[in-house]
A and B are shown apart, each in its own frame.
Chain A
């Protein structure tokens, strides 16, 4: 069975439309979404309405969470003061724009989804704000997958797609302290982390949308990059009164604000 996994649409309806069309052309049987339907982009209501109408299983992203619970970014979220100020502008705009029905939908999204040996989260199983970057320490990465009791962990949040295989390995952990400490050794089977990139706010240097098609029979991961009329989104950003720099950054594949790129950082909340 082929499944499509999408993430980080960020109110970019044009990009979502193009991705859904591509998914349709690849005969995927099911679509999963790992959150961030809103934030930065000009069409948060249209995006949420589309996800709802297609009944796509979706877990909550950090932006969806913040629209419901209020801005709750941690240190992982913004790598600079400028990014933080832009993030606040986008949050305030989206918070005014989103209608009550869509806000309610976002409020009821689960933190994670499971489908057989597949797990779906936005950032990481520990936090929607945590970035599972491709260079993350292998032990930490493996722990994140094991904690979901699955073999393949799909995530988004970084906006750069990748597939990482964590080879089977022997792990030794120490439980307790001092003389009472117990050494436990176990062998972990092969695990994978698949980051599906971003539909509506890429940061791979091009404006194209990205998502993933996964074959549950062959375990093949296909990273898809879909061109679309991003200029329409750019024009809508300006028409709706969002900062023009968001349009410029979208056109350059640089995210609307900025990126977090410290692989050694582990979210502590």
Chain B
């Protein structure tokens, strides 16, 4: 057990809720009016190596302290120095484990839930219910994740693959999100929630990666029923560019950017 003595207790908020209801979006909304995010902590356990939400938040709020799996001790050590702490509790984690993590601490519980969800375990657990997106979840859902760090995805292939994922070619998908490095060095965030209007790919505010294979996170998370995980993995791999193609695209982009600077 880790025992920490707190000089002052920051505002700790644990946000949980259904897959795709908008937990990360809610956290981002809370950050909007905060000028200095350096004393704000975001912790999202249980994501393994597929740190889609952590990467998205880090790109949106540079300077914010972000923690994930394998960083629990560091996270707990940083709590006394923080002004506020946001813990995002994935739908795949036991709600009862929150109390174990934050044993001696006072915290606020918030559940972001679809409007039609009634009398769930979240209702009993949360102090406050936030109305989230009208998601469509079912009982037979499984979660599939794949990290693709170091890979560059052909953007046209990604569009087609994303269309297939979100139109149930690999199982009935209720939620999908991913971050991918594409041909021209940009990092794209892809987001899908069944029952919610589709959004375009969002370019993350990260520098273009134009020097070989990207040394930063990329990967995909899919939630759904009867997922064909082997084919998902193979298709993701089929979208990845070779070393030669990566080099060729990066050279082209550098030349275009250089021409732009001259003008």
Q: Which of A79, A245, A249 has the most CB of B within 10 A?
A: A245
Q: How far is the CA of A80 from the CA of B238 in the complex (A)?
A: 10
Q: Which of B156, B161, B167 has the most CB of A within 10 A?
A: B156
A79 touches B231 (CB 8 A): no
A82 touches B169 (CB 8 A): no
Shortest Cβ gap from A99 to chain B (Å)? 30
B241 touches A81 (CB 8 A): yes
Shortest Cβ gap from B46 to chain A (Å)? 31
Chain B residue nearest in CB terms to A248: B169
Q: How far is the CA of A212 from the CA of B161 in the complex (A)?
A: 32
Candidates B157, B169, B231; contact of A80 at CB < 8 Å: B157
Scan A231-253; emit 1 where CB is below 8 A from any B CB, else 0. 00000000000001100110010
In chain B, positions 136-179 with a C-beta closer than 8 Å to chain A are 154, 156-157, 159-161, 164, 167, 169
Contact of A245 with B157 at beta-carbon distance under 8 Å, contacts A81-B238, A81-B241, A85-B238 already known: no
B161 touches A82 (CB 8 A): yes
Q: A83 within 8 Å of B by Cβ?
A: yes
B238 touches A82 (CB 8 A): yes
Chain B residue nearest in CB terms to A86: B238
Q: How far is the CA of A81 from the CA of B161 in the complex (A)?
A: 11
Q: In the complex, which residues of chain A have a beta carbon less than 8 angstroms from the beta carbon of B164?
A: 245, 248
Q: How far is the CA of A1 from the CA of B161 in the complex (A)?
A: 46
Q: A22 within 8 Å of B by Cβ?
A: no
Q: A92 within 8 Å of B by Cβ?
A: no
A79 touches B156 (CB 8 A): yes
Candidates A81, A249, A252; contact of B154 at CB < 8 Å: A81
Shortest Cβ gap from A148 to chain B (Å)? 32
Q: B76 within 8 Å of A by Cβ?
A: no
Q: In the complex, which residues of chain B have a beta carbon less than 8 angstroms from the beta carbon of A258?
A: 160
Q: In the complex, which residues of chain A have a beta carbon less than 8 angstroms from the beta carbon of B159?
A: 80
In chain A, positions 63-92 with a C-beta closer than 8 Å to chain B are 79-83, 85-86
The binding surface of chain A is classed by DSSP as helix
Q: In the complex, which residues of chain B have a beta carbon less than 8 angstroms from the beta carbon of A81?
A: 154, 156-157, 238-239, 241, 245
B167 touches A80 (CB 8 A): no
Shortest Cβ gap from A231 to chain B (Å)? 16
A80 touches B235 (CB 8 A): no
Q: In the complex, which residues of chain A have a beta carbon less than 8 angstroms from the beta carbon of B167?
A: 252
Q: How far is the CA of A91 from the CA of B159 in the complex (A)?
A: 23
Shortest Cβ gap from A243 to chain B (Å)? 8
B157 touches A82 (CB 8 A): yes
Q: In the complex, which residues of chain B have a beta carbon less than 8 angstroms from the beta carbon of A85?
A: 238
Chain B residue nearest in CB terms to A82: B157
Contact of A82 with B241 at beta-carbon distance under 8 Å, contacts A245-B164, A248-B169 already known: no
Shortest Cβ gap from A247 to chain B (Å)? 10
Q: How far is the CA of A81 from the CA of B159 in the complex (A)?
A: 11
Chain A residue nearest in CB terms to B167: A252
A83 touches B169 (CB 8 A): no
Q: In the complex, which residues of chain B have a beta carbon less than 8 angstroms from the beta carbon of A80?
A: 154, 156-157, 159-160
Q: In the complex, which residues of chain A have a beta carbon less than 8 angstroms from the beta carbon of B157?
A: 80-83
Q: In the complex, which residues of chain B have a beta carbon less than 8 angstroms from the beta carbon of A252?
A: 167
Q: How far is the CA of A79 from the CA of B157 in the complex (A)?
A: 8
Shortest Cβ gap from B243 to chain A (Å)? 14
Q: Which of A79, A82, A85, A258 has the most CB of B within 10 A?
A: A82
Residues of B at the A interface (CB closer than 8 Å) are 154, 156-157, 159-161, 164, 167, 169, 228, 231, 235, 238-239, 241, 245
Q: List 21 A-B contacts (CB under 8 A).
A: A79-B156, A80-B154, A80-B156, A80-B157, A80-B159, A80-B160, A81-B154, A81-B157, A81-B239, A81-B241, A82-B154, A82-B156, A82-B160, A82-B161, A82-B235, A82-B239, A83-B157, A245-B169, A245-B235, A252-B167, A258-B160
Residues of A at the B interface (CB closer than 8 Å) are 79-83, 85-86, 244-245, 248-249, 252, 258
